[in-house]
């Protein structure tokens, strides 16, 4: 409630200051200044929107710089898998592959659909 009360006090003070500025100006002049302000701010908004839409063609809106390719990426294949298996884990994976091969084809297919590329992408170092 303290923040709301503070905001109300600021609003009341601002309205009193603005009233004191405009109390000696006629209603006709206030309307003229309102129209001038609206035309100026609307015109400036239209200028900014038109500038964004009708940008000159030689000035690109976005520049693309070179892409750094990681050194472990091979252009012929997806990744070089030689350094991604821990020592001893290749044998564990081969045992798991033999176990998966011993399963019925329906179970194997359902497991491989859930874990795409997990078994068939292992290559010995």
Q: Which residue is listed with tokens 């997806």?
A: 78
Q: How many CB atoms lie within 10 A of CB 27?
A: 8
Domain interval for residue 98: 81-114
Contact 80, 74 (CB under 8 A): yes
Alpha-carbon Rg for the chain, nearest whole angstrom, is 35
Highest mean pLDDT among 10-24, 56-70, 80-94: 10-24
Give the whole-angstrom CA distance, residue 51 versus residue 45.
10
Q: Chain-wide mean pLDDT for the chain?
A: 77
In a domain, 62, yes or no: no
In a domain, 68, yes or no: no
Whether residue 125 has pLDDT greater than 50: no
Whether residue 75 has pLDDT greater than 80: no
Q: What is the mean pLDDT of residues 81-94?
A: 69
In a domain, 102, yes or no: yes
User: Both 6 and 42 in a single domain?
Assistant: yes
Q: What is the mean pLDDT of residues 39-53?
A: 94
SS3 state at 71: coil
Q: Which residue is listed with tokens 């298996």?
A: 85
Give the whole-angstrom CA distance, residue 115 versus residue 103.
16
Give the whole-angstrom CA distance, residue 64 versus residue 62.
7
pLDDT for 65 = 79
């Amino acid at each position: 409630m303290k923040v709301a009360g503070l905001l109300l006090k600021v609003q009341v003070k601002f309205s009193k200051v603005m009233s004191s500025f405009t109390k000696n100006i006629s209603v006709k002049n206030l309307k003229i200044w309102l129209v001038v302000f609206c035309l100026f701010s609307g015109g400036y908004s239209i200028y900014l929107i038109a500038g964004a839409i009708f940008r000159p063609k030689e000035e690109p809106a976005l520049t693309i710089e070179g892409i750094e390719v990681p050194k472990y990426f091979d252009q012929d294949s997806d990744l070089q898998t030689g350094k991604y298996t821990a020592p001893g884990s290749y044998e564990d994976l081969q045992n798991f592959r033999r176990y998966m091969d011993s399963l019925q084809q329906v179970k194997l297919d359902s497991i491989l659909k859930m874990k795409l590329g997990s078994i068939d992408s292992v290559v010995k170092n």
